[in-house]
Chain A
């Protein structure tokens, strides 16, 4: 009995019923007759592992042996209906050990080289959901990861090479990688936090300088304060403060006027962008100073709790910084007068490069080498490109760039973000066997 409160007898009854139904279906299938003799599949006479006609099979999941009734399959496209007959929710992973290309016979099983192909998360008690995947010759098993219970491995199944006639029609096996565990990610997240901690004093110092520049109000104060603002803001953006990193304090420091009833005129509009608006709208020093003071207070309020980065977040951040850059910077939505969007793109890309560098050991073992190298070199060349553009056009909103350059910026950032998205899915935390 679990907190979900389903009685064991209901589950057993359900299992018995499913077994009866499965048997009936099987007999029907058998009666209809099938050319391949592949009686496990619901539509055996048509399935051939191509994407149009994937192999279809229903597999029952139990706490006793995970998938004891998954006994055989063939290379190619599969739609596997996973039926959770237990009384608890579970995640299910399809794991390959010693997989090979479609064209070769499987090599020996290698448990140490376990790769995850597909997963279904949160499969509730009594629920059946379809897992769609493509596998090649190799050794496979399901891993059941029930709530509040140890992981259970299912039966090992060996997939043989398809016949010569079939193999060319089969789709390429799904990209796969060793699961990333929380233990692997924690030190990376810690390293990131440590790095952020070393960067903060410099940024805060620049903000304090800006405060005294404005307070003194000597000739040319505005120009100096604007330049200090740019330096400090650039520094802040390299920290990759995307998507609620630093929590509410992050919004106080670098939020836009979103969600405020009076928009940019709202009294609760604070931080870098408030000061930006003040400085570029020629506000008097007395008006600007309290806003800079508030920013210094926010910086001082940053503590260990604020800096905390979850193990899961570090992988997400790899693409979320770019998503933010596209959504806010490219849109001009975070431009309150300084027109430093290109410099912002540069800083944001530098932040992404830092995250990728920290994750590189984990990623290098999971992504094809040329792909990962390509990703890094594209990232670098884009950063350089944005930096160069921002030197050429130090005060232009991205929206005011020439059409040709604007399209180039969008194209580069768009392509980069597509590439980076993969990092978030690869580094999603998965429970180890």
Chain B
């Protein structure tokens, strides 16, 4: 029982309290090492929204889905406090470990980042899945209607051990070591409260040669996203469903295997027509630059951009579909081999929206006719609600769930 409850000690939470006793110690040093506004500065941990949503994925990312093993509501509360405290500490960029040469405790820090290289654009984003709102924690009345179990779409080849989860954790940073360090740290402090259900590591390519990073098919992926001023309308959850969801956002994660061997065996014209963009430049087939807006209205027959192209099906850019647009935060993955000896590579598709049913799921149904489907396979994922941000040193992720 001692090891199982280890995370309680780390949280420093006293019975009945909803605040964090240990939190303040780390926040005072939060600014250390972030003096210059270099590109490695970690996004602010506290704020109206969680970090890692507006922030684009960095070079290395990991998504992990977790099953909560905490046994009651109080333990769950403690789990959220601990994750908050660890995320706060990790994103502070301060790796000072008082236990480094201790004799009673093993070192708290894994040491994989040395004694502290400072910030590395680290963001940690926590989400909750529909399964958390079952009987275990008395959260049923708190479940937002919009938080649903992931749909199965036509053509899906979902592997049950890569689907769902009570929680999601998306960690992103410049260095792979920074991401893994953060994950190890969080898991170590929460062993008694949650276990990883599935996880996928991935990366975001550098711009080649410029602009939006490319996916494994050689195409720039995620060119068109809502603008900052559109996020309130399209992305942030509001409080009309459940009060506590305000400033959260619904997160759809899909693990999409890409059959690159097959893809590499089709001609460039077909590749361009499938996406509706020019592979070399990323420009829509009716434009010259990746940022050019396609004029579907001027091309009703699809003689320039095929009616069945991925970009046109995904976002037809009509008045009716305008409210379906999503904030995409996907990254590439590569992990070993698939059963037939092919490379197991693909996309960790991540998107944020105010309503999954009206946005991602509607788009995904429309993509059932997407010619791209022959070259990809959806194998896992889950729907989550990325929690509202932490609004001060006494707040913790998910606090309003327990009010």
Contact = CB atoms under 8 A, between A and B. Distances in A.
Contacts of A258: 155-157
A120 B283 CA distance: 14
Contact of A243 (B306, B338, B374): B374
Contacts of B259: 323, 327
B261 interface: yes
B107 interface: no
Interface string A267-309: 0000000000000000000000000000000000000000000
Interface in A57-72: none
Nearest to A256: B157
A60 to B, nearest CB: 14
A302 B305 CA distance: 34
A428 B280 CA distance: 21
A370 B95 CA distance: 65
A425 interface: yes
B287 A127 contact: yes
B340 A424 contact: no
Contact of A122 (B155, B156, B304, B340): B304
A319 B265 contact: yes
A399 interface: yes
B153 interface: yes
A121 B267 CA distance: 11
Interface string A112-147: 000000011111110111100000000000000001
A173 interface: no
A121 B272 contact: yes
Nearest to B341: A410
B259 to A, nearest CB: 7
Nearest to A147: B303
A127 B276 CA distance: 14
Contact-residue size bin, chain A (C-beta under 8 Å from the other chain) = 35 or more
A331 B304 CA distance: 37
A308 B382 CA distance: 39
B334 interface: no
A121 B273 contact: yes
A98 interface: no
Nearest to A326: B340
Contacts of A398: 340
Interface in B301-359: 301, 303-306, 338-342
Nearest to A323: B262
B152 interface: yes
B286 interface: yes
B36 interface: no
Contact of A330 (B152, B285, B306, B340): B340
A348 to B, nearest CB: 14
Given A89-B303, A259-B153, A4 B298 contact: yes
Interface of A: 3-6, 88-89, 119-125, 127-130, 147, 243, 258-261, 319, 323, 326-327, 330-333, 398-399, 406-407, 410, 414, 417-418, 421, 424-425, 428
Interface of B: 152-157, 259, 261-262, 265-267, 269-270, 272-273, 278, 280-281, 283, 285-288, 298-301, 303-306, 338-342, 374
Given A259-B152, A259-B153, A330-B341, 9 more contacts: A89-B304, A130-B280, A147-B303, A259-B156, A326-B261, A331-B338, A331-B339, A331-B340, A428-B269
23 contacts: A5-B298, A88-B303, A89-B299, A122-B273, A122-B303, A124-B285, A124-B304, A127-B287, A129-B283, A147-B303, A258-B155, A319-B265, A323-B262, A327-B259, A330-B339, A331-B338, A333-B157, A398-B340, A406-B341, A410-B340, A410-B341, A421-B266, A428-B270
What are the 9 tightest A-B residue pairs by CB atom distance, in nearest-first order?
A421-B265, A124-B286, A330-B340, A124-B304, A425-B267, A410-B341, A331-B340, A89-B304, A259-B154
